[in-house]
C-alpha cells in the first residue's frame, strides 16, 4: 500500500508533536467520556427501572385508608381505566433486635394469596415466600437483611401494634415499590434502622384488627387511561373509610427520589461536555495556527509544485481528525468504564435486582461526531488564514513583529525590566491566543468551583436543618392522634428533659390553578426544639391565624406573604378553609407548611390532639429512653437525630467523593492540556529570542523565567474569571437539581476558590517542569541557525 506524501507528513507531524497531540486528545477524551458517562448511566438507570417496573408490575396509583371493607374492591376494580387492583394491609411497627439498642422501624406489607400474579411483585433473592397459612413467617428486604446479617431461618423480633412477636425469616427479596427504601422521618435510606417485611394477609389482619378489611390499595391502569380521573373516582369511594387522597406514581416516594437522580444525571450531561469541547476547539486552533505559521515555506512549495489549496487544507484537517480519533478512542473507553461504574453505584444505592447497562451505539456515534466537529471547527480559522497566500508570499518568512506601535510605552509606564517587557509584548502580540489560553485555564478552575461548592453547601444544609431548625434529640410519632395528656406522659419517660408536641394532618394547599399535597404541621406558638426559620435564619413564631410556607412551597404555588391560599383537609370532617400566608420560611427538605397547633385543632374540630413529640434527652439516659420508647404501645416510629445526621453524611460522602474525584481529574486534564500547549507554543515562537539571551550570558533559569512569566501571568489572570464562571455554573446546577423533595443551598466559601486555584496551580507547575526539561535540552546554536 502506497501512502501519499501528505499522509506521511501528517503521521510525521503527529510523532513530532506527540506531547501536544496527547494533551489535546486528552481534553477531547474528557468531553467524550463525560458524554458517555452521563448518557450511559442515565440510559442504564432509566432502562433498568423500566424493565424492573414492567417485569414486577409496579403499580400506577396508591391510596391509604383507615379501614375499608374488602367488598369495596368490586367498585374500585370497576373504575374506568383500572386494569388491576389489589387491597393490602400496610402498617408501621418497631424493631426489637438484640444487636440494636436504638429504635428502628419496619413497614409491614401484606402479601396477596397468589404472589405470582399480584402488583408490586417481589424479586426473591434468597429463600422462599411465606406459607399463606402461616402466622409467623416473613420475607424481608435485602438491604435490611444485609445490615443485620439475617438469612432465611433467622428470627426477627418486632413490635406489631404494641405486641412483641418473633417472626421467622423465610426469604429475602426486593420490590419495585421500595427501590429507594426511605424510613419514616428520614432523609436518607438507612437499612440498619428501617426494613420492609412482607407477611401473609392473615397475620396482619389479626395483629391490626383488620379482618375482612384493608388499609391500602394499589392500582394498575390500562394504557391510555386518565390517571386524574381514576384518582378522583378512587378518592370518592375511599373518602367514607378514612381515605386521605390517592397519589400517582410520580408522587410515590421511591419513584420520586429515583426521578430526582435521573434529573441530576441529565443536568450533568448538559453542563460539562460543552465545556470540554469548547476548550478542545481552542487548543486545536492554537496548535494548528502555530504549526501552519512555521510551515509557511512548505505550504508555498506544495502550492508551487501543483498541490491545490483544497488538498493542503484537507491535509491539516486530516491532522486534526487523527488527533480527534485518538481522543475519541480514549474517551469512549474511559466513558464506558466510568459509566458502568456509576451505573453500578446507582444500582446498589437504589436496590435494583439487576443492572441493564446499555451501550447504545447512537450515544457513541453522537459523542464521536460532536467531538470531531468541535476539533475541525477549531482548525477552520487557522487553515483559512494561510491558504489564501500566493506561493511566493507563503514561501517567504513572516515579517518580524513590530512592537513599537502599541507597546513602546510599557517600560516607561510600569517601570518594567527587560524580561518583563518581553513577556508583556508576547502576550499582547497574540491577544486571541492569550485570551483563549486564559479562558481554557479559567474553565478548569470553574469546573472545580462548580463541584467543590457542594461540600460547604451540604454542611450548611445540615447546620440549618439539624442544629438551628430541628434541634431535638429524638422524635416520637404516634400511630394515631393522641390527647394532649400524652405530653405529660412523655415527660415521665427516662432521660426526657423537654417535650414539645406537634400535629400532622394531610392537606392540599391551593392558590389559583396551582396546588400541592403535603403534611401540614401544627406547632406550638414559640417552639424551641423544632423551629421555623426565616430567610435570615431567625426563629419565627406561629401566627394566631395563617400559615408559614417554606420558600420552595411558596415558589411552587406562586404566592407571597399576605396572599390567601385554600387548604383542603382530606381527613376527619374534611374541612376546607381559606388562610392567609403570614410568612415565608427557609427549608431545604420537602415542601413545608406550618400553622399554630391550636388553630389547626380548632379547624379540624377534633379537640386538643397531637401526632407526636419532639424530645430533648439526657445523653446519660439515652439507652433507658430507647428501651422505654420501644415498649410504648402507641408509638409508631422513633427517629434519632444523631443517627439521621450520621447516615446523611455517610451516604452523601460516598456519592460525592466519587463524583468530586472525577471532576478534579477532568479539571486537571484541562489545565495541563491548556498550559502545556500554551507554553510549548511560546517556546517554539521565542526560540531565537531565548537562544540570543543564552548567547548574551543569561542562565537557563533566567531564560526559562521568560516563559514561566508568561505562564504565570495567564494562570493568574484565569483565576478570577474561573471563579466567576464556576459560580455561574454552580447556580445553574442548583437550579437544575432542585425539586419538591429537596433544595440544595448554594454556599461558596473562600476555601472553595482557594482549593480550585491550588489544583490548577499544581497542574501548571507540572507542565512547567516538563517544559523546563525541554529548555535544558534545547540546542541553542541549532535554534539560531533555524530560518524563520
Given a contact cutoff of 8 angstroms between Cβ atoms, the answer to whether 297 and 394 are in contact is yes
Given a contact cutoff of 8 angstroms between Cβ atoms, the answer to whether 570 and 506 are in contact is yes
Alpha helices per DSSP H over 620-749: 622-630, 641-685, 687-695, 700-737
Q: By mean pLDDT, which of 105-119, 233-247, 337-351, 380-394 is the weakest?
A: 380-394
Distances (CA, A) of 112 to 85, 232, 538, 683, 702: 11, 25, 51, 76, 83
Checking if the pLDDT of 170 tops 90, the result is: yes
Beta bridge partners of 714: none
Residue 390 phi, psi dihedral angles, 5° rounding: -65, 155
Mean per-residue pLDDT for 23-48? Answer: 82
Q: What is the pLDDT of residue 655?
A: 67
Checking if the pLDDT of 205 tops 70, the result is: yes
Checking if the pLDDT of 672 tops 90, the result is: no
Residue with cell 501548571: 764
Q: How many C-beta neighbours within 10 Å does residue 616 have?
A: 16
Mean per-residue pLDDT for 479-507? Answer: 90
C-alpha cell at 100: 440494636
Distances (CA, A) of 117 to 112, 114, 307, 533: 9, 6, 74, 49
For residues 592 and 418, the model is more confident at: 592
Mean per-residue pLDDT for 238-263? Answer: 88
pLDDT band at residue 391 using 50, 70 and 90 as cut-offs:
low
Q: What is the pLDDT of residue 577?
A: 93
Element (H, E) at 113: none
DSSP string, 42-67: HHHHHHHHHHHHHHTT--SEEEEEEE
Give the SS3 label for residue 197: strand
pLDDT band at residue 473 using 50, 70 and 90 as cut-offs:
very high
Checking if the pLDDT of 31 tops 70, the result is: yes
Residue with cell 481554557: 440
pLDDT band at residue 87 using 50, 70 and 90 as cut-offs:
very high
Give the SS3 label for residue 549: strand
pLDDT tens by residue, 681-734:
777 766 667 777 777 777 777 777 777 888 888 889 999 999 999 898 888 878
Given a contact cutoff of 8 angstroms between Cβ atoms, the answer to whether 318 and 10 are in contact is yes
pLDDT band at residue 392 using 50, 70 and 90 as cut-offs:
low
For residues 79 and 399, the model is more confident at: 79
Mean per-residue pLDDT for 164-170? Answer: 91
Q: How far apart are the first and last CA of the chain?
A: 36
Calculate the CA 610 to chain-centre distance: 37
pLDDT band at residue 533 using 50, 70 and 90 as cut-offs:
very high
Q: What is the pLDDT of residue 413?
A: 47
Distance CA 104, CA 638 (A): 7
pTM of the model: 0.80
Checking if the pLDDT of 632 tops 60, the result is: yes
DSSP string, 562-615: T-EEEEE--STT--EEEEEEEEEEB-SBS--EEEEHHHHHHHHTS-SEEEEEEE
Q: What is the pLDDT of residue 415?
A: 55
Checking if the pLDDT of 781 tops 80, the result is: no
Distance CA 520, CA 508 (A): 9
Q: What is the pLDDT of residue 173?
A: 95
Calculate the CA 226 to chain-centre distance: 32
pLDDT tens by residue, 514-528:
999 889 999 999 999
Distance CA 486, CA 481 (A): 10
Distance CA 540, CA 592 (A): 14
Nearest alpha-carbon partner for 522 in 546, 499, 498: 546
Checking if the pLDDT of 481 tops 80, the result is: yes
Mean pLDDT of the chain: 83
For residues 43 and 432, the model is more confident at: 43
Residue with cell 508533536: 17
Given a contact cutoff of 8 angstroms between Cβ atoms, the answer to whether 663 and 451 are in contact is yes
Distances (CA, A) of 196 to 100, 172, 295, 351: 17, 10, 71, 13
For residues 630 and 212, the model is more confident at: 212
Percent of the chain with pLDDT over 90: 30
Given a contact cutoff of 8 angstroms between Cβ atoms, the answer to whether 517 and 508 are in contact is yes
Q: What is the pLDDT of residue 788?
A: 47
Cα angle vertex 551, ends 547, 555, to 5°?
100
Distance CA 45, CA 179 (A): 12
Please tell me the number of Cα atoms within 13 Å of 610 on its side-chain side: 22
For residues 81 and 96, the model is more confident at: 81
Q: What is the pLDDT of residue 78?
A: 93
For residues 400 and 551, the model is more confident at: 551
Q: Where are the domains of the chain?
A: 90-209, 470-644
Cα angle vertex 748, ends 744, 749, to 5°?
135
Beta bridge partners of 90: 109
Q: What is the pLDDT of residue 730?
A: 84
Checking if the pLDDT of 59 tops 50, the result is: yes
Checking if the pLDDT of 419 tops 70, the result is: no
Residues 6 or more apart whose Cβ sits within 8 Å of residue 338: 33, 36, 37, 662
Amino acid at each position: 500500500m502506497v501512502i501519499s506524501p501528505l499522509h506521511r507528513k501528517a503521521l510525521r507531524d503527529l510523532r513530532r508533536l506527540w506531547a501536544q497531540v496527547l494533551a489535546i486528545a486528552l481534553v477531547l477524551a474528557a468531553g467524550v467520556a463525560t458524554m458517555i458517562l452521563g448518557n450511559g448511566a442515565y440510559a442504564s438507570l432509566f432502562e433498568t427501572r423500566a424493565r424492573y417496573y414492567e417485569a414486577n408490575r409496579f403499580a400506577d396509583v396508591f391510596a391509604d385508608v383507615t379501614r375499608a371493607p374488602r367488598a369495596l374492591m368490586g367498585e374500585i376494580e370497576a373504575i374506568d381505566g383500572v386494569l388491576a387492583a389489589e387491597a393490602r394491609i400496610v402498617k408501621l411497627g418497631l424493631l426489637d433486635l438484640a444487636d440494636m439498642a436504638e429504635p428502628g422501624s419496619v413497614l409491614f406489607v401484606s402479601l396477596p394469596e397468589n404472589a405470582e400474579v399480584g402488583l408490586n411483585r417481589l424479586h426473591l433473592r434468597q429463600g422462599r415466600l411465606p406459607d399463606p397459612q402461616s402466622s409467623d413467617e416473613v420475607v424481608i428486604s435485602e438491604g435490611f437483611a444485609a445490615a443485620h446479617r439475617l438469612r432465611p431461618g433467622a428470627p426477627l423480633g418486632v413490635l406489631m401494634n404494641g405486641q412483641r412477636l418473633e417472626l421467622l425469616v423465610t426469604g429475602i427479596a426486593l420490590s419495585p415499590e421500595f427501590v429507594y427504601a426511605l424510613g419514616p422521618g428520614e432523609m436518607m435510606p438507612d437499612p440498619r434502622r428501617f426494613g420492609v417485611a412482607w407477611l401473609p394477609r392473615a397475620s396482619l389482619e389479626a395483629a391490626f384488627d383488620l379482618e375482612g378489611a384493608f388499609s391500602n390499595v394499589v392500582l394498575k391502569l390500562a394504557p391510555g387511561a386518565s390517571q386524574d380521573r381514576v384518582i378522583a373516582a378512587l378518592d370518592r369511594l375511599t373518602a367514607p373509610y378514612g381515605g386521605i387522597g390517592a397519589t400517582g406514581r410520580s408522587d410515590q416516594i421511591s419513584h420520586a427520589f429515583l426521578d430526582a437522580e435521573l434529573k441530576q444525571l441529565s443536568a450533568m450531561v448538559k453542563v460539562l461536555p460543552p465545556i470540554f469541547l469548547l476548550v478542545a476547539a481552542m487548543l486545536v486552533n492554537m496548535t494548528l495556527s502555530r504549526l501552519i505559521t512555521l510551515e509557511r515555506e512548505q505550504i508555498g512549495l506544495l502550492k508551487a509544485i501543483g498541490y491545490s489549496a483544497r488538498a493542503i487544507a484537507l491535509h491539516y484537517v486530516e491532522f486534526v481528525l487523527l488527533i480527534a480519533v485518538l481522543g475519541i478512542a480514549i474517551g469512549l473507553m474511559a466513558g464506558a468504564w466510568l459509566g458502568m461504574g456509576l451505573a453500578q453505584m446507582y444500582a446498589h444505592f437504589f436496590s435494583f435486582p439487576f443492572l441493564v447497562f446499555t451501550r447504545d451505539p447512537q450515544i457513541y456515534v453522537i459523542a464521536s461526531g460532536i467531538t470531531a466537529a468541535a476539533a475541525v471547527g477549531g482548525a477552520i480559522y487557522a487553515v483559512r488564514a494561510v491558504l489564501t497566500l500566493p506561493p511566493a508570499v507563503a514561501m517567504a518568512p513572516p515579517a518580524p513583529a513590530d512592537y513599537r506601535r502599541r507597546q513602546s510605552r510599557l517600560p516607561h509606564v510600569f517601570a518594567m525590566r527587560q524580561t518583563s517587557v518581553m513577556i508583556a509584548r508576547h502576550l499582547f502580540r497574540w491577544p486571541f491566543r492569550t485570551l483563549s489560553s486564559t479562558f481554557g485555564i479559567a474553565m478548569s478552575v470553574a469546573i472545580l468551583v462548580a463541584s467543590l461548592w457542594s461540600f460547604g453547601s451540604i454542611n450548611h444544609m445540615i447546620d440549618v436543618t439539624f442544629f438551628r431548625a430541628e434541634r431535638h434529640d429524638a422524635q416520637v410519632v404516634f400511630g394515631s392522634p393522641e390527647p394532649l395528656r400524652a405530653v405529660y406522659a412523655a415527660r415521665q419517660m427516662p432521660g426526657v428533659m423537654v417535650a414539645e408536641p406537634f400535629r400532622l394532618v394531610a392537606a392540599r394547599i391551593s392558590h389559583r390553578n396551582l396546588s400541592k399535597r403535603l403534611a401540614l404541621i401544627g406547632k406550638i406558638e414559640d417552639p424551641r426544639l423544632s423551629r421555623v426559620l426565616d430567610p435570615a435564619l431567625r426563629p419565627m413564631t406561629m401566627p394566631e391565624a395563617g400559615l408559614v410556607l417554606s420558600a420552595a412551597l411558596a415558589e411552587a404555588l406562586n404566592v407571597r406573604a399576605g396572599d390567601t391560599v385554600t387548604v383542603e383537609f382530606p381527613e376527619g370532617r374534611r374541612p376546607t378553609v381559606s388562610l392567609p400566608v403570614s410568612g415565608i420560611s427557609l427549608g431545604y427538605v420537602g415542601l413545608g407548611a406550618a400553622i399554630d397547633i391550636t388553630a389547626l385543632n380548632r379547624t379540624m374540630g377534633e379537640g386538643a390532639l397531637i401526632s407526636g413529640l419532639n424530645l430533648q434527652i439526657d445523653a446519660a439516659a439515652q439507652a433507658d429512653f430507647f428501651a422505654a420508647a420501644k415498649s410504648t404501645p402507641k408509638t409508631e416510629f422513633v427517629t434519632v437525630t444523631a443517627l439521621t445526621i450520621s447516615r446523611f453524611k455517610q451516604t452523601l460522602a460516598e456519592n460525592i467523593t466519587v463524583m468530586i474525584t472525577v471532576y478534579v481529574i477532568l479539571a486537571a486534564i484541562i489545565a495541563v492540556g491548556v498550559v502545556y500547549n500554551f507554553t510549548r507554543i511560546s517556546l517554539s515562537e521565542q526560540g531565537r529570542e531565548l537562544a540570543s539571551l543564552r548567547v548574551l550570558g543569561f542562565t537557563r533559569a533566567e531564560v526559562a523565567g521568560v516563559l514561566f512569566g508568561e505562564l504565570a501571568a495567564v494562570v493568574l489572570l484565569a483565576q478570577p474569571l474561573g471563579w466567576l464562571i464556576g459560580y455561574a455554573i454552580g447556580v445553574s446546577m442548583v437550579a437544575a437539581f432542585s425539586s419538591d423533595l429537596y433544595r440544595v443551598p448554594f454556599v461558596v466559601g473562600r476555601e472553595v476558590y482557594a482549593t480550585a486555584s491550588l489544583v490548577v496551580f499544581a497542574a501548571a507547575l507540572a507542565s512547567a517542569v516538563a517544559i523546563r526539561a525541554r529548555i535544558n535540552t534545547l540546542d541553542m546554536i541549532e535554534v539560531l541557525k533555524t530560518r524563520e
